[in-house]
Structure 1
Amino acid sequence: MTIVLFIAGVLFVAVGIAASIALHEVGHLVPAKLFRVRVTQYMIGFGPTIFSRRRGETEYGVKALPLGGYVSMIGMFPPAKTADGGTVRQSSTGMFQQLAADARRAAAEQLQPGDDNRVFYKLPIWKRFVIMLGGPLMNLLIGIIMFAILIMGFGSAQPTTTVSEVYKCVVPTDQQQETGQTDCGPGDPAAPAFEAGLQPGDRILSFDGREVTSWTELSSWIRDAAGQEVSISYLRDGDTITATIEPLLTERPVPDVDGRAKLNDDGTPVMQDVGFIGVGSRQELVPQPASEVMPAVGESLVRVTGVVLNLPQRVAQVAEAAFSDAPRDPEGPISVVGVGRIAGEVSAMEEIPFEARAATLVGLVGGVNLALFVFNLIPLLPLDGGHVAGALWEGLRRGVAKLFQRPDPGPFDMARLLPVTYVVAILLMGMGALLIYADIVKPVDLFG
């Protein structure tokens, strides 16, 4: 059964990523057709074609290597200029010039009668923006939808008023840091909750005569009641039990708004003397309002952007981990193989409720789409951001020429950037191969 669940998790994420790639290309395809650019191919994958069918002027198909996709539009590269401002096909013995000339020749061979006003490079700049940003924006939309399903449908993990664990004693924080002690020692005071008879599974109903409606509320009351003997009631197997409890004054981390410990500038927790009874809260998925979706998406985008901005360093760390005993950074980049492995492991954890596992898989697909959105905005060819950057440069040149009443410089020749494109493509393939290798020999360990 575990193997079946593992495979089911991998297939869920694989289908989700394949659908995301297909919809990314739809984000390019639809506006291109709306703007009457002739689209010759819509393909999912690269390499040999497995299946294709022509509908109208476009061939739709699937290729052997499911590592991406593309939409082929005519007129991506303008013809080369002559000295008198006309256009000709040029030839050159220079390697880089020959690359550009070959690309222009291939683009020109796609043209058919009536295509003069249907080429990509003749579109207004704003229309090129819409076409090239359509793919990343589709990934952003998918990510938002997945996060909405996750947060509003499944919910986010929230502490409840049900006890998950009860400590037998209180080990001072400084003692834990100095000696690493976590078990009870001879001189450690008994935990107030243990003395009051609390057990895992009990649901706390009231504290100091006040009804408990949330764990956050209860925690604040406990922290303020150090040294005071108060009443506490809890529900166990349908029976209400009332006892007295005296929170112990002890040094504990100061929580922030989401319950995690606040940190000093040096990364150590901010500490404070507060009341403590020695219990943990059971976490449950609690559906959240729609207003929580975009903040969660924004936080994820910030994390992904941080990884992308430091990508060379992050990839170097992955390489070091893959070929040494250094551990993998769980916040670092991973390949589709790593995502699939995590999905399989989560799906196979039968000790975790099905709802929580399904929520994690939905979150993985959403996170991948947000990563695709950010990554494709990198202003380098062959990524979508490279085409956007080229259009921006063309608009800037034409704006400056118009401002100083100079002749229109015409469209920017993206074919001149092909050498850079090939270098970037090779680096991306190398990075992908490294990440796949690392995810096989030194996978990210999220579950200990």
Structure 2
Amino acid sequence: METVLLYILGILVVLVGIAVSIGLHEVGHLVPAKLFGVRVGQYMIGFGPTLFSRKRGETEYGVKAIPLGGYISMTGMYPPAREGGKVRSASTGFFQSLVQDARSASADTIREGDENRVFYKLPVYKRVIIMLGGPFMNLVIAVVLFAIVLCGFGTQQLSTTVGSVSACVVPASSASQKCTPDAAAAPGAAAGIKPGDKILSINGSTIDSWTQATSIIRKSAGDSLAITVLRDGKKVDLTATPLLTERYVYDAAGKVVEDASKKPVTEKVGFLGIGAAYELKKQPVSAVLPAVGTTIGQDVHLILNLPARLVDVANAAFGPGARDPNGPVSVVGVGRLAGEITSINTIPFVERFSYLLGIIASLNVALLVFNLVPLMPLDGGHVAGALWEAIRRFFAKLFKRRDPGPVDTARLVPLTFAIVIVLGAMSVLLIYADIVKPIPIG
């Protein structure tokens, strides 16, 4: 029962975090819009039918049934076909109807006396500030949460404490990794090293990191090593001789190196048969921005390769293949990961809570990067339209031509419609994959 409650708690924490992040994203649009005098008719979290709302001043604030985003409704998002022109009433064809409907809906939001409180009449820099306000809020949230996780809780790192001791020596390329009756005893176990021992020195050299200890052991096959450990508050002197055995070669990212034929690369090194314990280590404030930057880079790479990643997701969902643990997931997948992590009783609760904050921080980075894609209806699409308008007006002024007026962004509504369909299909695919072929947490 407790495990189920923890599972539900993990999901709820992440869902609340997502809702708050969406709400603050829209606040990032709302505040500058009001400061610049734009009339904001609605501030909504979610889409679809309204669950509840309250009107304060000229703005209706509320929550809708489908919690997959949010929006603010600003007066005059789309300009008329020509500066000072009337909204056209005739249309031919489906896409022309979409454009006309967008213009008509935009015109309907302009009340008498509010003609100069419209979005499209703002200077370009003000429109850019309004549209970047949402992603900026996600960046602020991500930085704050990463700071809490890294500086407040810390990250899991290898310690100089022994976490595991192997009973025997098994080559990496062996078909079975279990001890057999004829397997040689692991030198670490034979020397009396135990889990919980903290390695203080090897051959008189003070050990400050597990990497340092491993480096000495790997190049000392056949040599006797004097090892001093701290056990139950007392120093214990031990002697161990590493055996020459076969181990996998790992790259800087911790992955097994493969040769041209995709076979794991091995090497002969000294081996004691001991593994490090992990411990939470608080990071300096200087580590926060690089961590955010790394996450942004990963999300940019994911978006640039999104079509191929979605093909992989589809192949895994409808075939025997496994999901890529670094691939895209839906809200369902995120909730499942949060629930499973929270319900693992073998992990201290503090670490589980830190993991949930890390998920919310990463989601805010994803919202930041995704919303900056220069396509409508995303924030980046509106920014791109405003910047294009600035470029056109600059060259018109440079060559002493007539002011071309605002960019007719309503013409992009059919593209917006197509992108919404694509995003909807992508969401359905990811939700289905997260149900039938979820990404394992291990």
TM-score norm. by structure 2 comes to 0.93
Match of 1:310 in 2: 305
Match of 2:79 in 1: 78
Match of 1:18 in 2: 19
Match of 1:209 in 2: 204
| Residue correspondence of structure 1 range 255-274 to structure 2 within 5 A | 260-261=254-255, 263=257, 273-274=268-269
1:99 to 1:2, Cα distance in 2 relative to 1, 3 A: same
| Residue correspondence of structure 1 range 246-261 to structure 2 within 5 A | 246-253=241-248, 260-261=254-255
Say which of 390, 402, 409 aligns to 1:407.
402
- SS in structure 2 of the partner of residue 157 of structure 1: strand
Aligned residues of 1:91 and 1:98 also touching (Cα < 8 A): no
Amino acid at match of 2:142: G
Q: Which moved more, 1:277-286 or 1:201-210?
A: 201-210
Q: Deviation of residue 256 (structure 1)?
A: 5.9
Match of 1:36 in 2: 37
1:200-258 deviations in whole A, cap 9, x for unaligned? 22222221123333222322332343332121122333443212112234454556667
User: Equivalent pairs: percent with the same residue?
Assistant: 56
- SS in structure 2 of the partner of residue 40 of structure 1: strand
Say which of 399, 419, 423 aligns to 1:424.
419
- Structure 1 spans left out of the alignment, 5+ residues: none
- SS in structure 2 of the partner of residue 88 of structure 1: coil
Match of 1:145 in 2: 144
Say which of 320, 323, 331 aligns to 2:318.
323
TM-score norm. by structure 1 comes to 0.92
**Take 1:438 and 1:122, find their aligned partners in 2: how far apart are those partners?**
44
**Take 1:161 and 1:217, find their aligned partners in 2: how far apart are those partners?**
9
Match of 1:88 in 2: 86
**Take 2:10 and 2:280, find their aligned partners in 1: how far apart are those partners?**
20
Aligned residues of 2:91 and 2:100 also touching (Cα < 8 A): no
Q: Which moved more, 1:58-67 or 1:265-274?
A: 265-274
1:153-190 deviations in whole A, cap 9, x for unaligned? 111111112111112233334x33xxx33223566543
**Take 2:234 and 2:284, find their aligned partners in 1: how far apart are those partners?**
33
Aligned residues of 1:253 and 1:261 also touching (Cα < 8 A): no
Amino acid at match of 2:346: E
Over the residues paired in the alignment, what is the CA RMSD in angstroms?
Answer: 2.1
Match of 2:237 in 1: 242
**Take 1:370 and 1:288, find their aligned partners in 2: how far apart are those partners?**
20
2:432 is the counterpart of 1:437: yes
1:265 to 1:184, Cα distance in 2 relative to 1, 3 A: closer
- SS in structure 2 of the partner of residue 37 of structure 1: coil
**Take 1:5 and 1:201, find their aligned partners in 2: how far apart are those partners?**
29
Aligned residues of 1:78 and 1:121 also touching (Cα < 8 A): yes
Match of 1:289 in 2: 284
1:2-42 deviations in whole A, cap 9, x for unaligned? 11111110110010000000001011111111111111111
1:438 to 1:207, Cα distance in 2 relative to 1, 3 A: same
Point out 4+ residue stretches in structure 1 off by more than 6 angstroms.
267-270
**Take 2:69 and 2:217, find their aligned partners in 1: how far apart are those partners?**
54
**Take 1:199 and 1:148, find their aligned partners in 2: how far apart are those partners?**
36
Amino acid at match of 1:434: L
Q: Deviation of residue 263 (structure 1)?
A: 4.0
**Take 1:53 and 1:426, find their aligned partners in 2: how far apart are those partners?**
31
Amino acid at match of 2:85: T
How many residue pairs align between the two structures?
439
**Take 2:248 and 2:314, find their aligned partners in 1: how far apart are those partners?**
36
1:310-361 deviations in whole A, cap 9, x for unaligned? 1122222222222222222211111111101111111100011112211111
**Take 2:362 and 2:373, find their aligned partners in 1: how far apart are those partners?**
18
Amino acid at match of 2:21: S
Say which of 331, 334, 337 aligns to 1:336.
331
Match of 1:372 in 2: 367
**Take 1:257 and 1:289, find their aligned partners in 2: how far apart are those partners?**
22
- SS in structure 1 of the partner of residue 239 of structure 2: strand
- Structure 2 spans left out of the alignment, 5+ residues: none
Amino acid at match of 1:48: P
Match of 2:103 in 1: 104
Amino acid at match of 2:96: Q
